[in-house]
Amino acid sequence: MGVQIHSADGHIEERDWRQAVARGLTGRCPHCGQGRLFRAFLKPVDACEVCGEDLHHQRADDLPPYIVITIVGHIIVGGLLLAEKFGDWPMWLHMTVWPLLTVLLSVALMQPVKGGVVGLQWAVRMHGFGGEPDRPERQPLPSSESRS
């Protein structure tokens, strides 16, 4: 299932959002799946070195950390509850295992999740990925007659 976009000339280009997200999760260009998506840990490239797709439009911002917090929180809380129910861990072991596991999982998941978000933005043409500049819609000003 893809997203269909109708352009002014009637041409329909479909982008498969599942494929784009999967490519982003692996750190690859959402368009071709070949080029690197990141030049550093969380810094995306400006354009794909293979297909030339412009990727500087991405605006992943705060969504990836929220997703990572949700995923890691569920894993850690579930693990902690299981350890309490079925084990008899001393407090020092809890204080060592769970914070360390939280940090490691968060760092391990951050780049793939950000790549998935960038892939989704590309697939649904958000933030300039559709060819149009990213600008807010203009709202009509309220008329003086409607204020009375």
Q: Assess if residue 39 is contained within a domain.
A: yes
Q: Assess if residue 108 is contained within a domain.
A: yes
Q: Assess if residue 148 is contained within a domain.
A: no
Residue whose C-alpha is closest to residue 40's, from 27, 22, 25: 27
Per-residue pLDDT, 117:
95
Token readout for 58 is: 């991405």
> In which band, very low, low, confident or very high, does the pLDDT at 146 lie, cut at 50, 70 and 90?
low
Token readout for 61 is: 């911002």
Half-sphere exposure of 108 (CA within 13 A, CB side): 8
Number of domains in the chain: 1
Q: Assess if residue 13 is contained within a domain.
A: yes
Q: Assess if residue 72 is contained within a domain.
A: yes
Residue range(s) defining the domain that contains residue 64: 2-132
pTM for the whole structure: 0.77
Express each pLDDT in 11-69 by its tens digit. 657 889 999 999 999 999 999 999 999 999 999 999 999 999 888 888 888 999 999 99
Q: Assess if residue 143 is contained within a domain.
A: no
Q: Assess if residue 22 is contained within a domain.
A: yes
Q: Assess if residue 16 is contained within a domain.
A: yes
